Structures are given as structure tokens and as C-alpha cells.
Amino acid sequence: MRMPLLVLGLSLSTLPLLAGEGMPDDGIRTFTLENGLEAVVIEDHRTPAVTHMMWYRVGAADDPPGLSGLAHYLEHMMFKGTHNLAEGEFSRIVRENGGEENAFTSYDYTGYFQRIAADRLELVMEMEADRMANLAPPPASAESELAVVMEERRQVVENRPGGIFNEERRAVQFINHPYGRPVIGWMHELENLVIDDFLAFHGEHYAPNNAILIVAGDVTVEEVEELARKHYGPIPDNPDLEPRQRTVIAPQQAARRVEYTDPRVQNPYVIRTYLAEPRRPGDQDEAAALAVLAEVLGNGLTSVLAQELRVKEDFALDVGAYYGDLALDRTTFGVYVTPNPGVTLAEAEARMDQVIADFLATGVDPELLERIKTRLRAAEIYARDNIGGRARQIGAALTAGLDVEDVRAWPEALAAVTAEDVMAAAHEVFRPEASVTGWLRGTGEGVEPGEVVFDDTEVSGQ
Amino acid sequence: MRMPLLVLGLSLSTLPLLAGEGMPDDGIRTFTLENGLEAVVIEDHRTPAVTHMMWYRVGAADDPPGLSGLAHYLEHMMFKGTHNLAEGEFSRIVRENGGEENAFTSYDYTGYFQRIAADRLELVMEMEADRMANLAPPPASAESELAVVMEERRQVVENRPGGIFNEERRAVQFINHPYGRPVIGWMHELENLVIDDFLAFHGEHYAPNNAILIVAGDVTVEEVEELARKHYGPIPDNPDLEPRQRTVIAPQQAARRVEYTDPRVQNPYVIRTYLAEPRRPGDQDEAAALAVLAEVLGNGLTSVLAQELRVKEDFALDVGAYYGDLALDRTTFGVYVTPNPGVTLAEAEARMDQVIADFLATGVDPELLERIKTRLRAAEIYARDNIGGRARQIGAALTAGLDVEDVRAWPEALAAVTAEDVMAAAHEVFRPEASVTGWLRGTGEGVEPGEVVFDDTEVSGQ
């Protein structure tokens, strides 16, 4: 769920002004149907294609206790047939009409999308509405698909040391909160899932008043509204829909550590994460400061960690910093160092600590801060060219409790961050007693490339 | 919930034979009422007193998510009045009749007891039945008692570094399981508890078919059964009672660490715990080996850790080992070292590791094993003299899923443990990747005595 930040190799002086007052129309329109379905339309007529997305305000964090993986399993089962379409027909029809499609599940959302020629929008909308209202996969497919999900888990977790390590770190980071469970589910709980579980979950959460329709591309809001009324309008809302209330993360007073050793690891690394606040509706300034802080510390060779541990000295293969700006509940801020071969993780951690301590003592370099803000601005503007990416940003933001205005205001919030804001955010977030420090170690014979898994919060593909 | 093990300073040669075949009648009788109430009677006519206990098969591990502390809060509210007795009257009547009483809450049980003259048994039974069926505390008492519970939390957790540390260690030990929550509840969740929460919890769980009556002392089983039929018999069972099914602890593949620093700590210590199996119905051999292992490693100056770190060398102020034999789900096995002042916890941990590694390599000293088994045998026999303690052992065992036969068979299981069993148990339990290592540190100005809190699983007193 990290906002993609591009590092641009071209001059920025020719870029248009930052979004905000006086900015051109961004083409984003919204409407809401009587049954509660919210819709966002992004008009963009450069190519005769359209992206149609349905986002549900439900995800792995809403899996009932003991049934981790349910939201993601349901995502798979959405392709297995309805009262009107047989198993696999949805995908076949999209494909035969030249479209592509996929789906993704994270803690706070489950999303489905198709990209297709603009004149086929009604086709995919009709099918998406059908599986919102009429999901009815054959029982045999539930069993076989569960095996597929388990195999997917093997691929993304068991077969990847970083995947296992990420799962272990999340478990101790988010105590008393479903963000501590894996999106894809623990194997021992996947084994228990049955067809009634996901049918009940679908019945409860897949309703128009829990969904956000996003259509982007060569359409007008009027066309989309007309089609949405026709296909989604007749689906009744769920009047018993409960607000998403998760338990509150337990307060942490003791530093936690996780040490995972896996023979497949080639490049060991140390990673430290802290609980942090995400963007809040109408209140994104602290998050903006953390987003800039992550850039200052760890993005690119000019960042503080890279300068100290890679440029001035050849100490580390890789360094980085991370901030997950979108989450309904809480998120993490993290830093990592992958030291050169032969350097211990204890040494790497000590150097990482020293760099951060020095940074807290001396403050942020004003020139670096300006360069980063220019880069963020450029990235935001270039992101507008990626119509699918914009639609995803909006979907992720809205299912994390924000609204379209928050999305619009985010570039301004980033632009307004001062050096004082960055340092205040740094002093706030780096609390040793609320940290989770992870060591991922090998045994000397590793061949796995040194992939750092910061925060695996989404499983995509079906 | 640790079985008290006495270290006896007298010759054991005069002790009677171990319980088992040919043992004398232990005075334990059982019956079950039609509404499902199980009863255990321990006849013991040495003093004209009786202990009356009501144990419910419900505890903090059954607190609904987000409402930690509810079972314990309900325990407090059980003294606040019924349709027949005003707030505080229960306790006043017990006191005026020369009795004493209390209550206790753990993960798997909530228990209430009165000790009183044998001829007043019916009085307390009538009142206990009344609050099982007719709990009705005044709403104002719910609010004021919640403040009392919060103050109790401050006393047993916030005011004790070992209490905070224990809570933090449990949280990372029991991932995806309610044993990771504090029995007394997190403060941020206590704040949300309201009268309807505990009334609903009472209505669901406080029913005869979820309760165990234990009466010990100067009574006969016939007398108890007659009184129980009269007072508990009319209370209807709860036909909708759900079996206690908690989520399964997530598998652990990475060693976890918790480092808590508190200026009040005088004697820092290192403690390491591992998940372990508790006693299972009809299957107590592995647990017996673990119980003996804990004695071998850490109980008394002849134990392995004490010999190496206190007797042969003056390295540690204290050492210990622990095994919690009773739990419905899983339990922990642990070891700790409180090093001499001036020794770092890193050194203490390295020495602890070395002692255990040497023990795993060389095995258990047969003489030590025999001495320990003799001591356990004696402790079991002496425990028979403590009628209240026997009743509590039975209550704790039955609410952990065992039956009276398991309780009877436990001394034999301990007696049958061989050196091979101990070493097999040791090799099984000491898995580094499934450990939680805790460091409790001070800042140099501590005054708190070096109390080691191994496993705070019960809150007692109201």
C-alpha cells in the first residue's frame, strides 16, 4: 500500500505547478446511489479504454478470529460462478473481449478490477454486479480452490524467508489486533475454512453500502451513473452492516525482537519497525511528515542512511526506510540495513542506531529536504498519467477511511512539510520501547537474493 | 497454577508409599445433577469445618475480543447483590458466621470459595446458588467496582515492573490466542466495560452445566448431594452453552525477545520461556517429564542451574525453572537467571545457555533424579493434609479439561518418569526458534526486590 515514489532522472524545472489552488480540473467526479454504493469516476479520454474497479470495505483484518485468510479465499471464490455464470466464465468473457482483470486483498479492502475497451464497460459492470448479488460457486470448486490458496501461501510465505520473517514480525508488532495475522491466513486456519464461511462473509460484507465503484478512463460520469443505476442500483443494501470496529492494539512498553534464521538467506539484514499513525480524514499533516521522513532517511543514494552507510563508507549492500501511509487503524514506520557480507547484524544494527541518533541530534539537511519535496511533487504529477494507479490510490485511500478530498489534499500536505515537522515526527516515532527489531539471518549457504520484505499487506492475483 | 512443591528438611524414609495401587481411600467422591452440575466431595473429618467452592469453566481466555478483563470484572460483581441479597450482604453474612471467603479468576476458570463451620454449609450453598441464578447488582456498583478493578490493575501490573514485563512477554508468547491477554484486562479495554457486558457473560457461562461444585471437609457425600439437589438442582442448565473453543496459537519459527527497562528494578534478570504441552486427559506422561525437568533444572540448590551458577561459582543471586502443568490449551516451560550485581544480562544469558547445552549433552544425574522424585512424592503426600489446597488442585485440574482420575494418576505419572523421559522432554521443549527470551533491566537506581514473575495467570481477591 505504499504510494509509489518515482526517482526521476530528468530536470524538474519544466514541471507544472504543484496540485492545489488553481490546479487544473483533476477529472474526478463522485456520486452515491440510493442503496449506499459510492462511486468515483476519473475521466481521462486519452485512450479508448476503461478501468472498472469494485472495492469492498472489508479485508483480512475483518476475518473472524480463527478464520484468517477468509477474505482472501472469498476473493478467489468470486471467480467461481454465480446463479447466472458458470465457474470460470467471468474471466473467459473478459479475456474474449480483449480485457484483463484481477483482484487483490489487503487488511482493509478487497478489490476487483477489469481493464477493457470503453465500449465494453457495461459488460463487466453487469458481471461484477452479478457476483456481488448472486455468488454461487459449486461446492467442489470451494475445496479445490482452497488447495490453490494453500499453494499460494506456500509460494508467498513458506518459500520466501522474507515472507516468513515478515509474518513473524507482524505477529509481535500488532498485539491484540488483526493486522498481526497474515492476509493470506495461517495454514492451520486455512485448513478449517468451508464454503459456508465465505458465503456468510460475502452475505454480510459484499453489499452496495459497503462498496466503492471506481471507473477510470474514456467515460463520462453521466454514462457511468446511468450504467451503475441499471446494474448496481437494484442490489439491496445490507441494513445490518456493522461498522468496522477492530480491537485496539495493546500498548507496548518493552522493545521486541524477532530473530529468524533460514538457510536460504543470502544477504542477512536488520530491520526495525515502530507503530505509527496513518493518514487520518482531514488530518494528514503528521502522516505527511512521516512520509517525508522515510524519504529523507532511506530513499535513494542521497538519503541519510545511504549517504552514511553506502556513499561515505562501503558498509551496506542496501538501506531503506518505509512508511505505510494508508491504514484504517495503525501502520508502521521502519528502517533497514543489509550490511556487506562479513559484517554481523549486531554491527549493522549498531551503525543503523548511530546514524539515526546522529540524525536526531543534527536535524535534517535543508537542501536534501527540498530535493525530496521536489521529487515527491514530480512523482505525484507523473502518477496522474497512470490512470490505473490513480484509481488504485483512490480505492486504497477510501477503504482506509479517507475521502476524495483527502486524496486531493495529500500532495499539498507533503509540500507543506517543514524541517521542524520532519524532526518532530522523527522524535515521536523513534521510541525504543515501542520498537520491533528483526534479524533475518542465513546459515552461510544461502542463494536467495537479499529481498527485503517491508510490509506485505496485500495478496493479489487469483 | 503451579503445583506447590515443598522442599522438605526431614528424612523421607518414614513416609508412606506413593499413591496408586493399594493406596488408601482418598476420600474423593463425585456425583452429577440432572442439570449438568458436577460435584466433587472430599471427606475429611479432622476438623468441623468445610470448604465450599464453585468453579466455572470460564475465565479470561473466554473474554470476548476487545473486552479483556471481563471474566475478572464479573468475579468482582458477583459480590454486589442479587434479586435476594443487597450489595455486600453475601460477604457480611459469611463473615458474621465466622467464615472466610474469596474468589479468583484465571484463563480457564473463575472460582468462588467459602471456608466455614460445617453446620453452615447450607447457608453458603444457598447464597452461591442465588448468585448463580439471580445476579442483579445495582448499576451504580458496576461503575464504582470498575474503578476498583482498574486500581487493582495498577497495583498488580503498573506498579510492579515484573507485572508489566510478564504481560509483555505473554503477549508475544501467545500469538493468536487469548492467553496472550492479561487476566485482569488491558486498561484501554477495561475502560469500555459496561454492566450489560458482564450480565451477558454471566447469563451465558454461569450455568450448572458449566460449573463444578467442590465441597471438602467434615461432610459426607450424601449430605452434600442432598443440599446440592435442594439449592443447585432447580437452576436450569444453559442448553446453548458452546464448547470452549479458542483459536489455535500461531506456529512460531523465529526466536522472540522482549526487553523491558524500568528504573524501579533492582535485580535485573533474564528469563526464557517456550510453549509446551500441559497435562492432557488420560495422557500426562509428557507433562510429568516436564514437571520433573523443571525440578531438575531449577528447584533448590541441588538443581542443575543452581549447582552451576550458585554453588560451584558465585555467579547468580537466583535461578529457577518453571512448568505450568495445567492449561486447557497450551502452557509454557521456562528458566531464568538473576545474575549477581555487575554482571550483564548478556553474560547471564550466555551462561544460562551454556548450562542448558551442557545438560542436554551430558544428561540428568540419576541421583539427583531420585532425590527429586522422592521430594515430589513427599510433597504430594503432604499436600493431602491441606484440604483447601487439594480442593483447589482438583478445581484447577477439572477446569483445565482433566478429570478426577487424572488428578489421582498424577503422582504415579511423576513417579514413573525416567532419566530418558526427562532428556527427551528437554530436547523436545528447548527449541530456540520457538523461544521468548526476556530481559528485565533497571537503570541503576532500582529499589524493587528482584521478584521474578514467571507466569501470572491468576488474579485473586475481590
* B293-324: pLDDT as tens digits: 999 999 999 999 999 999 999 999 999 999 99
- For position B11, what pLDDT does the model report? 36
Q: What percent of chain A has pLDDT over 90?
A: 86
- Whether residue B7 is predicted with pLDDT greater than 90 in this model: the reply is no
Contacts of B247 in chain A (CB under 8 A): 65-66, 189
Phi, psi of B255 (to 5 degrees): -60, 140
Q: Which helix (H) or strand (E) holds B194?
A: none
Q: Above 50 in pLDDT, residue A4? A: no
Cell numbers linked to A165 = 520473517
Global pTM reads 0.90
Give the Cα separation of A253 and B441 in Å (integer). 13
Strand partners, A157: none
Structure letter (DSSP) for residue A25: P
CA atoms within a 13 Å half-sphere pointing along the CA-CB vector of B331: 25
Cell of A123: 459488460
Residue with cell 514485563: B165
* Cβ proximity of A215 and A392 under 8 Å: no
CA distance A94 to A102: 10
The residue written with cell numbers 487520518 in the block is: A280
CB atoms within 10 A of CB B297: 25
* Residue where the block lists cell 537503570: B443
Residues 6+ apart with CB under 8 A from A11: none
How far is residue B4 from each of residues B216, B386, B401, measured CA to CA in Å? 19, 11, 20
Distance between CA B246 and CA B108 in Å, rounded? 11
Any idea which residue has 483447589 for its cell? B392
Residue A118 burial (CB count, 10 A): 15
Facing A254 at nearest CB: one of B168, B181, B188: B168
Cα separation, A460 vs A111, whole angstroms: 9
- A255 and B250 within 8 Å at the Cβ level: the answer is no
Q: Higher model confidence: residue A5 or residue B362?
A: B362
Size of interface A-B (CB pairs under 8 A): 98
Q: pLDDT-based confidence at B8, cuts 50/70/90?
A: very low
| Residue A16 cell numbers, joined | 507544472
Put simply, whether B259 touches A (Cβ < 8 Å) is yes
The answer to whether B172 faces chain A, any CB pair under 8 Å, is: yes
Instruction: Provide the 3-class DSSP secondary structure of residue A453.
Output: coil
Torsion angle in degrees (nearest 10) through CA of A185, A189, A193, A197? -80
The cell numbers describing A296, all together, are 529523507
Is the model's pLDDT at B449 over the cut of 60? Answer: no
The answer to whether residues A232 and A212 touch, using CB atoms and an 8 Å cutoff, is: no
Q: pLDDT of B122-135, one tens digit each?
A: 999 999 999 999 99
Per-residue pLDDT tens for A92-127?
999 999 999 999 999 999 999 999 999 999 999 999
* CA neighbor of B356 nearest in space, from B332, B333, B331: B333
Return the pLDDT at A293. Answer: 98
Cα A321 from Cα A333, distance rounded (Å):
8
B342-347: long-range pairs with CB below 8 Å, 24+: B343/B315, B343/B316, B345/B268, B345/B269, B345/B270, B345/B439, B345/B441
Q: Report DSSP letters for B47-61, one per residue.
A: SSEEEEEEEES--GG
Instruction: State the average pLDDT over residues A140-153.
Output: 96
Neighbours of A387 (CB within 10 A): 22
Residues A28 and A42 sit within 8 Å (Cβ to Cβ): yes
Q: Name the packing angle between helices A285-298 and A404-415 (round to 10°).
A: 50
Q: Do A181 and B181 touch (CB under 8 A)?
A: no
Answer whether residue B454 shows pLDDT above 70.
no
Q: What percent of chain A has pLDDT over 70?
A: 92
How far apart are the CA of A183 and the nearest CA of chain B, in angstroms? 14
3-state secondary structure of B34: coil
- Contact (CB, 8 A) for A352 and A305: yes
Q: How far apart are the first and last CA of chain B?
A: 18
* Per-residue pLDDT reduced to its tens digit, A355-377: 999 999 999 999 999 999 999 88
Question: Could you tell me the CA-to-CA distances from B265 to B262, B270, B318, B361, B450 in Å, in that order?
Answer: 6, 13, 15, 35, 7
Of B94, B80, B97, nearest in space to B131 by CA:
B80
Contact A256 B258 (CB under 8 A): yes
Q: Which residues of B touch A186 (CB under 8 A)?
A: 176, 250-251
CA-CA-CA-CA dihedral for B382, B386, B387, B389, to nearest 10: -100
Give yes or no for a contact between B47 and B217, defined as CB atoms under 8 angstroms apart. Answer: yes
> Of A330, A112, A84, nearest to A206 (Cα)?
A112
Question: Chain B residue with minimal CA distance to A257?
Answer: B257
Q: Cβ B256–A433 below 8 Å, yes or no?
A: no
A391: closest CA among A217, A225, A223, A214? Answer: A214
Per-residue confidence (pLDDT) for residue A14, from 0 to 100: 35
State whether the Cα torsion A335-A339-A345-A348 is positive or negative.
Answer: negative
Please identify which of the residues B34, B38, B43, B75 carries the catalytic annotation.
Answer: B75
Query: Can you give the pLDDT at residue A454?
Result: 64
Q: Does B165 touch chain A (CB under 8 A)?
A: yes
Calculated CA dihedral for residues B140, B146, B151, B153, nearest 10 degrees:
170
DSSP-assigned letter for residue B17: P
Per the listing, cell 497495583 goes with B155
Q: How many CB atoms lie within 10 A of CB A72?
A: 30
Residues 229-258 of B with CB under 8 A from A: 245, 247-248, 250-258
Distance CA B444, CA A14 (A): 60
Q: How far is CA B9 from CA A279, B3, B6, B61, B300, in A?
A: 65, 19, 9, 39, 12
pLDDT above 50: residue B426: yes
Tell which A residues from 399 to 438 touch B, by Cβ distance under 8 Å: 433, 438
**Residues A324 and A273 sit within 8 Å (Cβ to Cβ):** no
Phi, psi of A183, deg, nearest 5: -55, -40
Tell me which DSSP letter residue B444 carries.
S
Element (H, E) at B64: none
Region B208-226 average pLDDT = 97
Question: Average pLDDT of B103-112?
Answer: 97
- Residue whose cell numbers read 453489499: A207
pLDDT for A444 equals 80
Query: What grid cell was written down for A379?
Result: 512523482
> Which residues lie below 8 Å from residue B285, measured CB to CB, with a gap of 6+?
B413, B416, B417, B421
Dihedral of CA B183/B189/B195/B199: which sign?
negative
Distance from CA of A167 to the nearest CA of B (A): 10
DSSP state at residue A376: H
Residue B412 a catalytic site member: no
A117, A98 Cβ separation under 8 angstroms = yes
Q: Across A183-192, B7-16, B452-461, which has the greatest mean pLDDT? A: A183-192
- What's the mean per-residue pLDDT of chain A? 92
Locate the DSSP E strands across B277-339.
316-323, 331-339
Query: How close is the nearest chain A Cα to the Cα of B220, in Å?
Result: 45
* Cα–Cα nearest to B180, from A334, A65, A333: A65
Q: What integer pLDDT is reported at residue B23 of this predicted model?
A: 53
pLDDT, mean of residues B52-76 = 97
What are the respective helix, strand and coil percentages of chain A, to the nearest 5?
Answer: 45, 20, 40
Provide φ and ψ at A145, rounded to 5°.
Answer: -70, -30
Q: With beta carbons less than 8 A apart as the criterion, state whether B256 and A175 touch.
A: no
Judge contact between A288 and A417, C-beta under 8 A.
yes
Query: Using CB atoms, which residue from A181, A245, A257 is nearest to B256?
Result: A257
> Residue A82 has what DSSP assignment?
B
Q: What is the DSSP string of B107-143?
A: SS-EEEEEEEEGGGHHHHHHHHHHHHH-B---HHHHH
For residue B415, the 8-state DSSP code is: H
